[in-house]
């Protein structure tokens, strides 16, 4: 089992975001702005969905890694720490998913 975490990935993205864009894909995405990074995130999401629909486990793992990486870049550009997302997940899991979804619906 790997000890690599999303917090590790967040730190790597933060570090590489400071690099020369000609030397780092992360820095190039950051320099391109949120629109470019978000578009790439969307592309990776679609590729992950396609792998899931095809039941292509190996490709789903690969595309999921791309998806998580690009999400971390988008969060970095937006200056949203991973901890904020984790806190939201923790808040949501304090109740069942159906209860949480019902609380968001209009009466």
**Which CATH number do you get for residue 21?**
1.10.287.1080
Tell me, yes or no, whether 30 lies in a domain.
yes
- Rounded CA-CA distance 73/39 in Å is 12
Cβ proximity of 26 and 72 under 8 Å: no
Predicted pLDDT of residue 104: 75
Q: Please compute, for residue 27, the number of CA atoms within 13 A of its CA located in the half-sphere on the CB side.
A: 9
Closest CA to 18 of 31, 33, 32: 31
Model confidence, pTM: 0.87
Q: What is the pLDDT of residues 11-35, one digit of tens each?
A: 999 999 999 999 999 999 999 999 9
pLDDT surpasses 70 at 72: yes
Tell me, yes or no, whether 97 lies in a domain.
no
């Amino acid at each position: 089992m790997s000890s690599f975490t999303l917090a590790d990935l967040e730190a790597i993205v933060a570090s590489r975001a400071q690099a020369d864009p000609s030397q780092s894909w992360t820095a190039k995405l950051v320099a391109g702005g949120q629109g470019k990074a978000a578009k790439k995130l969307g592309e990776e999401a679609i590729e992950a969905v396609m792998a899931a629909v095809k039941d292509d486990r190996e490709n789903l793992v690969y595309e999921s890694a791309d998806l998580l990486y690009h999400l971390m870049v988008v969060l970095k550009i937006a200056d949203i720490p991973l901890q904020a997302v984790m806190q939201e997940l923790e808040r949501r899991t304090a109740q069942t998913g159906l209860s949480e979804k019902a609380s968001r619906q209009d009466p």
